[in-house]
């Protein structure tokens, strides 16, 4: 069975990003894909200290005592990862960025977590051509470094209010993304 970890960087439990993730999860379940969603805003994740103690302290990904290690292990054993976030002030949310920085443990000391399929689900109030570059570029570069393959992106522009994505049909597009993980 395929197993996917969703990293939800949105602070709104019923916002546009959440609506698209919900649709992705429902479609994934229909396809027999197991999914675990981590809501970054409900977790205690600290910033990377770049101490290079990754996987040295009792086989744990990080020596810091916060909520990151279980997530890191879950990602390590997953077949795929979905990064999701609204665009906040020309970037991904700080909570998702904390996870991205802590993923240093996978490559900083040559630790290989294997190839993975990756999806990106994002929302923004703007719909300019380059609106999502600030979010997509760091994810794609991290995936290149880790030898992970981005299999699809759902980039919902012009969705400011909580129900805008639903009105514009973006959840259906997010559901389609689940098929790329089969």
Query: Which domains, ranges and CATH numbers included, belong to the chain?
Result: 3-181 (3.40.50.360)
pLDDT band at 167 (very low <50, low <70, confident <90, very high): very high
pLDDT for the residue 134: 97
Question: Angle CA(40)–CA(43)–CA(49) in degrees, nearest 5?
Answer: 90
User: Given this model, what pLDDT does residue 56 score?
Assistant: 78
CB half-sphere exposure, 39, CA atoms < 13 A: 12
At 15 the pLDDT is 95
Say what the pLDDT of residue 108 is.
61
- Rounded to an integer, the average pLDDT of 4-10 is 98
Tens-digit pLDDT profile for residues 55-101: 776 678 899 999 999 999 999 999 999 999 999 999 999 999 999 99
What is the rounded average pLDDT of the residues 149-171? 97
pLDDT above 90: residue 53: no
With a pLDDT cut of 90, the percent of the chain lying above it is 85
How far from each other are the two terminal CA atoms of the chain, in whole angstroms? 9
- Asked if the model's pLDDT at residue 107 lies above 80, the reply is no
Q: For residue 101, give the H/E element and its range.
A: helix 94-102
Crossing angle of helices 94-102 and 133-146, rounded to 10°: 10
| pLDDT of 58 | 67
In which band, very low, low, confident or very high, does the pLDDT at 109 lie, cut at 50, 70 and 90? low
The span from the CA of 163 to the CA of 82, in Å, is 21
């Amino acid at each position: 069975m395929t197993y996917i970890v969703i990293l939800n960087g949105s602070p709104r439990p019923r916002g546009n990003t959440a609506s698209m993730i919900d649709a992705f999860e429902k479609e994934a379940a229909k396809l027999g894909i197991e999914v675990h969603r981590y809501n970054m805003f409900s977790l205690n994740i600290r910033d990377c200290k770049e101490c290079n103690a990754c996987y040295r302290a009792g086989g744990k990904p990080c020596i810091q005592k916060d909520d990151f290690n279980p997530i890191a292990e879950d990602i390590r054993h997953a077949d795929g990862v979905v990064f999701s976030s609204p665009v906040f002030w020309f970037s991904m949310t700080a909570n998702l960025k904390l996870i991205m920085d802590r993923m240093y443990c996978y490559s900083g000391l040559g630790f290989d977590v294997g190839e993975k399929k990756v999806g990106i689900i994002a929302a923004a109030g703007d719909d300019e051509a380059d609106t999502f570059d600030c979010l997509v570029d760091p994810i794609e570069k991290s995936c290149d470094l880790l030898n992970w393959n981005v299999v699809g992106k759902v980039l919902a522009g012009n969705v400011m209010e909580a129900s805008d994505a639903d009105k514009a049909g973006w959840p259906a597009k997010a559901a389609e993304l689940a098929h790329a993980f089969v």
